[in-house]
A = this chain, B = another copy of it.
Amino acid sequence: MSDKFALDQKFAQFSEHWRPKVVAALNGQEIKIVKVQGTFPWHHHDNEDEFFLVWKGRFRVEFRDRVVDLGPGEGLTVPRGVEHRTAADEEAEVILFEPAATRNTGNVVDAVYTAPDGAKV
């Protein structure tokens, strides 16, 4: 049986940006947390919808035709197939809900930004 966890304690255990950490796994899905700062590569996910919920700071989800600016407690779903990139001017903390083993850069493999799969914290 799983034990409870505190988001603030989990976020305090790492400092690198753009490296999602799995904090819970259920129903073939994962709940991940990630620290972000800067601008992520454009990409899409062929088969996965992604949900972002901002925990701290401000975070942008940029589409080719619009930018969605999110603050703490604001969430957004990015449907599969939709090209997007994420960005933050200052460090932000974000919660992700998505299928297990979703590659963070989707259809793209990026030497800097593609993160190891399955990292936990």
- List the interface of chain A (C-beta within 8 A of B): 1-8, 23-27, 29, 31, 48-51, 53, 55, 63, 68, 70-71, 73-79, 82, 97-99
What are some 28 contacts across the A-B interface (CB < 8 A)?
A1-B82, A2-B77, A3-B68, A4-B68, A4-B74, A4-B75, A4-B76, A5-B75, A5-B76, A6-B74, A7-B73, A7-B74, A7-B75, A8-B73, A23-B75, A24-B51, A24-B77, A26-B50, A26-B77, A27-B29, A27-B49, A27-B98, A27-B99, A29-B29, A31-B51, A31-B75, A55-B73, A97-B97
Using CB atoms, name the residue of chain B closest to A25: B77
A116 to B53 Cα, complex, angstroms: 25
B76–A3 CB distance below 8 A: yes
Q: Which residues of B contact A77 (CB under 8 A)?
A: 2, 24-26
B26–A74 CB distance below 8 A: no
